[in-house]
Amino acid sequence: MLRVLLLSLLVLSTAGGARAQETAKRGEVMLLGTNHLANNNRDLVNLPVEDVLAENRQQEIARLVESLARWRPTRIAVEWPRTDQAGLDRRYADYLAGRLEATANERDQIALRLAKRLGLERVEAIDWNEAPPGDPAAYDFMAWASDHAQSHRLETLVKQGQDEANRTAERMRGQTVSQWYRALNEPGAVSEMHKAYFDIASFGSNENNPGAAWVGAWYARNLRIFNNLRDVLGPEDRVFVLYGVGHAYLLERFLKESEAATLVDPRRFIPAR
């Protein structure tokens, strides 16, 4: 028994030493949560963002990018399928060559612009967004709500979220793009946004809980994204990650709890106005 205990302590001590050594060598990650500037309207709640291709917004985005460049990222990672890195490479090459008409998408407006400003050879695709395993019906919390007389509760939650998004959009009209991003990446704002997933998880019963299954799949998706990010993160790298703000809470938790990287607060490099 004593030999087993001593061996266990030795293993834990060795593992702890290895973790400390890895921590000393880990790279840095700046995670900037973003709204979808192109208004893709693919979520339950969508933020109506004004046209960021307007001249005044373009000037504000340019100032934001110039400020972010002061951190001197060595890599940039975005919400683009990892399996289509070649497609992102072509897009970035077209952007550099002046052949691409940039869209309002935050990837074009911030990530590609920043990569060009820094002279980076490529932008990293780290997204995973495939269907979760098994029967799709096992994740359909909206159908469960309908079948169990809870559609009104779901509709109320969605309406509350959309009302808040509309109020946010109204405030944004009087703010600069930098102010958008400072407010969006406040720790309290990121945590508050994550609470919605607990509401979704509540749709179901002990026997059949599609809400919890859907949220579980959401966690799994973010773990896959985290793994992809870790694959492109070297010990000397400073990786700027631009991702939908709904992912920010989990990605931050995974980075902190795994000790895979040192997190850098993006607000340090976002202009106050």
Share of the chain above pLDDT 70, in %: 90
Identify whether the C-beta of residue 38 lies closer than 8 Å to the C-beta of residue 48: no
Indicate the pairing of strand 27-34 with strand 238-244.
parallel
Share of the chain above pLDDT 90, in %: 87
Cα-Cα-Cα-Cα torsion 195, 198, 203, 205, nearest 10 degrees, comes to: -160
pLDDT at 14: 52
Is residue 82's pLDDT more than 80? yes
Confidence of residue 191 (pLDDT cuts 50, 70, 90): very high
pLDDT at 228: 98
Burial letters 57-74, b for 16+ CB under 10 A, else e: beebbebbbeebbebebb
Is residue 263's pLDDT more than 90? yes
Mutual orientation of helices 187-194 and 248-258 as an angle, nearest 10°?
110
Tell me the sheet residues that pair with 127: 81
Is residue 243's pLDDT more than 80? yes
Confidence of residue 16 (pLDDT cuts 50, 70, 90): low
Q: What is the mean pLDDT of the chain?
A: 92
Tell me the sheet residues that pair with 242: 32, 78
Lowest-pLDDT choice from 3-17, 43-57, 175-189, 206-220: 3-17
CA atoms within 13 A on the CB side of 146: 5
Phi-psi domain of 119 (left: phi exceeds 0; alpha: psi -120 through 50; beta: other): left
Is residue 10's pLDDT more than 90? no
Mutual orientation of helices 55-68 and 177-184 as an angle, nearest 10°?
50
Is residue 137's pLDDT more than 70? yes
Domain regions of the chain by residue span: 28-269
HEC letters along the chain: CHHHHHHHHHHHHHHHHHHHHHHHHCEEEEEEEECCCCCCCCCCCCCCCCCCCCHHHHHHHHHHHHHHHHHCCCEEEEEEEHHHHHHHHHHHHHHHHCCCCCCCCHHHHHHHHHHHHHCCCCCEEEECCCCCCCCHHHHCHHHHHHHCCCHHHHHHHHHHHHHHHHHHHHHHCCCCHHHHHHHHCCHHHHHHHHCHHHHHHCCCCCCCCHHHHHHHHHHHHHHHHHHHHHHHCCCCCEEEEEEEHHHHHHHHHHHHHHCCEEECCHHHHCCCC
Lowest-pLDDT choice from 78-82, 165-169, 226-230: 165-169
Q: Which residue has the higher pLDDT, 39 or 231?
A: 231
What's the whole-number mean pLDDT along residues 120-126? 98
**What tens digit of pLDDT does each residue of 153-188 get?**
999 999 999 999 999 999 999 999 999 999 999 999
pTM, full prediction = 0.90
**What tens digit of pLDDT does each residue of 43-63 get?**
788 899 999 999 999 999 999
Q: Which residue has the higher pLDDT, 23 or 196?
A: 196
Cα separation, 3 vs 236, in Å, equals 40
pLDDT at 129: 97
Question: How many Cβ atoms are within 10 Å of 10's Cβ, its own excluded?
Answer: 10
pLDDT at 105: 97
Confidence of residue 23 (pLDDT cuts 50, 70, 90): very low
Confidence of residue 9 (pLDDT cuts 50, 70, 90): very low
